[in-house]
Amino acid sequence: MKIKIKGQLLDVNAVWMEGFTLKAINQKLLPFKFEILETQSFLEVTRWIKELNVRGAPTIGATGAYGYVLAAVEAKNYNREKQLQFLNEAYKRLLHTRPTAVDLKNALDYMHTMANISTHPEFLKEKAEFFVNKILEQGKQLVAHGSTLIHENAKILTHCNTGPLALVDYGSALGVIIYSFVHKKTPLFVWVDETRPVLQGARLTTWELTQHNIPFSLITDNMAGFLMNQRKVDLIIVGADRVTQNGDIANKIGTYSLAILAHYHNIPFYVAFPWSTIDLSLKNGNSIPIEERSAQEVLTVRGIPVENQKEKESKKETETVNYYYITAPNTPATNFAFDVTPHELITGYITPAGVFSDINNVMRSYKDAMKELSWKESV
Ligand code: MRU
């Protein structure tokens, strides 16, 4: 992705490897501060994923694959048996960081299968790059397909962050919007759900839209229904963290409510994703594991004080991003990070092979792609 930081143009991915050092944009600090994280330790990678320094289903998958490579480097002087034990442990630790996005499991399963052929770090790095390049290729394909749904002056509502940050580059749902505006020059307008509690919409989607001068307005999550009722939303596009056999999807908490609102108001509701987000092992969404995160995320917001922002503008100082309680610190709170939207509420699926309203066509294309990609031994 091409981004402008303090007047300088940078061309970076959300996560990448240089030699055997893993680098990633620290998504936790955006939009206040642009920082590149670096590590050579797979345990540090587990922290990045858990703490949302890197997030978004396909980016999490890519980070997991690279994390596995770092584990192979750490194990390189062990005998083969000990290496495999170490990699087994690394696989489990990386996998258990975040349970809902199946991209992580798909990436790690692929890397683990490859380790049976060779545990050589160079070999595994090549395989991780292959996996990530496929995600990138699919991102590029799906945003182009999705853009056929965007008519001139469309008012699009989106949830969470599904831009290049979330898919290594290109993006999924937000990628469709960016591609339509930047490459196809389609005039459009975006309603950005803030996406409580971690505010991926308010922090990251607004940052990515600003990078491309795309017109948007940030809204609180509970404004969506009112806007739909006022006919101010033409279509909704969201991403996914897991897509099951029957077309049910898990995505960021709040997606289900949006889908119900869209259904009631007769507004098309699309879901965009690459192949790494498909889970053929589950028949439907009922058994998708839903991540429950710390109550602290609900009790707090992260940001900068209003007065510091003014100071920053006048003195050009570097900002410190802090946590602030929005209620009494001991308030009981619940934090489900995802919900499941049943296929009945989904108008269409935006995939690397095209836009489909019938999930059977999605799965057929997925199986064809898997034959060629051989991420899995058989599907
Ligand atoms: O908790 P997050 O920020 O990782 O959740 C991200 C989402 O729910 C995205 O919508 C999804 O991963 C699709 S990203 C292309």
User: What architecture is domain 2-139?
Assistant: Up-down Bundle (1.20)
Ligand 1 centroid – CA 256 distance (Å) = 14
pLDDT by residue (tens digit) across 74-121?
Answer: 999 999 999 999 999 999 999 999 999 999 999 999 999 999 999 999
Residue from 55, 302, 335 whose mutation best tests the ligand 1 pocket (most atoms within 8 A of CB): 55
Closest-lying ligand 1 atom to the alpha carbon of residue 338: 8
Ligand 1 centroid – CA 372 distance (Å) = 27
pLDDT by residue (tens digit) across 229-254?
Answer: 999 999 999 999 999 999 999 999 99
CA 370 – CA 367 distance, rounded (Å): 5
- Please list the active-site residues: 241
> Where in the chain do CATH 1.20.120.420 domains reside?
2-139
The percentage of residues in the chain with a pLDDT greater than 70, rounded to a whole number, is: 95
> Where in the chain do CATH 3.40.50.10470 domains reside?
145-292+335-374
The gap between the terminal CA atoms of the chain, to the nearest Å, is 32
- Predicted confidence band at 374 (pLDDT cuts at 50, 70, 90)? low
Beta carbons within 10 angstroms of residue 88's beta carbon:
13
- Predicted confidence band at 50 (pLDDT cuts at 50, 70, 90)? very high
CA 163 – CA 256 distance, rounded (Å): 20
Judge contact between 129 and 121, C-beta under 8 A. no
Residue from 160, 243, 258, 339 whose mutation best tests the ligand 1 pocket (most atoms within 8 A of CB): 160
| Residue 345 clears pLDDT 50, i.e. is over it | yes
| DSSP-assigned letters across all residues of 232-279 | --SEEEE--SEEETTS-EEEETTHHHHHHHHHHHT--EEEE--GGGEE
User: What architecture is domain 145-292+335-374?
Assistant: 3-Layer(aba) Sandwich (3.40)
Ligand 1 centroid – CA 176 distance (Å) = 15
| Residue 318 clears pLDDT 80, i.e. is over it | no
| Per-chain mean pLDDT for the chain | 95
Closest-lying ligand 1 atom to the alpha carbon of residue 251: 8
- Predicted confidence band at 307 (pLDDT cuts at 50, 70, 90)? confident
Closest-lying ligand 1 atom to the alpha carbon of residue 103: 12
Beta carbons within 10 angstroms of residue 273's beta carbon:
30
The CA distances from residue 231 to 186, 227, 271, in Å, are: 20, 6, 21
